[in-house]
Amino acid sequence: MLDLQGYGPRLIEGAGVTVQLAVLSLILAIILGLLTASAKMSRNWFLRRTATVYTTVIRGVPDLVLMMLLFFGGQIGVNAISDMLYYNYEIDIYINFNAFAAGVLTIGFIFGAYMGETFRGAFMAVDNGQIEAGKAYGMSDALVFRRIRFPQMMRHALPGLSNNWMVLLKTTALVSVIGLTDMVRVAAEASRATHEPFVFLIPVAVAYLLIASVSEWIFARLQKRYDIGFGGQ
């Protein structure tokens, strides 16, 4: 049987960190992605430009570099702001730049750019007549978004969303490099300490495959739900 030499509980804790990190970043990424997609489709020149720069820059730089920039630079940046507030306005606050929050922020920020592209394509695939019909019924813009555009957009966005999620899940492994104790970090530490890398790293690899398989199943169910009314195309 697999002998984890007492590292078992820590590995499970690490797996918890991985899943929490991935789910929270996914939520942030979806929010940012929706905002980016709306900005890209807006009539405002400035918003469109900003969104384009955001998606281009983020997709052109490695995740790890962005993560290190935010993680190592984040505390300095936060300190600079609180110093500024103290000297100029005598507001005394201290913000501790937490590693987990930095991880969620960076991954969410990176995948917001990818989600933005996915959502933009999906929004454009929604028939304009549907939106006009909603307006003709006297629906407000917000109501049109909630009842008509969003549900129909999701049908087109889900395949891309599921793809992004799979990449995001694997990206969470990088937080182990900047000091968060996720399951990859526990496994790497354990294999260095015990000189038995396969015992710890292979179960972690299998855990990633398991999470991926479970989420694939969830996405298939969601797709079925959003496909209702389209004759199973």
Partner 1 sequence: MLDISAWFNDLLADNLIFTPTTLGYYWEGLVTTTQLVFLSLVAGLILAVPLAIMRSSKHKWISLPVYFYTYVFRGTPLLIQLYIIYYGVVFIDGIQETFLWPVLREAFYPALIAFTLNTAAYTTEIFRGAIKATSKGEIEAARAYGMSQSLMMRRIILPSAFRRALPAYGNEVIFMLHASAIASVVTLMDLTGAARFVYARFYAPFDAFLFVAAIYLCLTFAILYFFRFLEKKLLAHLRPQNS
Judged by beta carbon, residue 12 or residue 133, the one nearer partner 1 is 12
* Upper half-sphere CA count for residue 1 (Cβ side, 13 Å): 3
3-state secondary structure of 137: coil
- Taking the complex as a whole, how short is the minimal distance between the CB of residue 208 and partner 1, in angstroms? 5
Helix residue spans in the chain (DSSP H): 8-41, 45-60, 63-89, 99-124, 128-136, 141-144, 150-171, 183-194, 197-226
- Taking the complex as a whole, how short is the minimal distance between the CB of residue 182 and partner 1, in angstroms? 10
Judged by beta carbon, residue 131 or residue 177, the one nearer partner 1 is 177
- Taking the complex as a whole, how short is the minimal distance between the CB of residue 48 and partner 1, in angstroms? 20
Count the neighbouring beta carbons within 10 Å of the beta carbon of residue 126: 18
Judged by beta carbon, residue 151 or residue 203, the one nearer partner 1 is 203
Query: Contact positions toward partner 1, by CB under 8 A?
Result: 57, 59-66, 68-69, 72-73, 76, 166, 170-174, 176-177, 184, 187-188, 191-192, 195-198, 201-202, 204-205, 208-209, 212
**Interacting residues of 129 by C-beta distance below 8 A, sequence separation 6+:** none
- Taking the complex as a whole, how short is the minimal distance between the CB of residue 111 and partner 1, in angstroms? 13
Residue owning tokens 């005394």: 92
Judged by beta carbon, residue 7 or residue 208, the one nearer partner 1 is 208
- Taking the complex as a whole, how short is the minimal distance between the CB of residue 117 and partner 1, in angstroms? 12
Judged by beta carbon, residue 9 or residue 62, the one nearer partner 1 is 62
**Interacting residues of 154 by C-beta distance below 8 A, sequence separation 6+:** 122, 226
Q: Length of the chain in residues, anyone?
A: 233
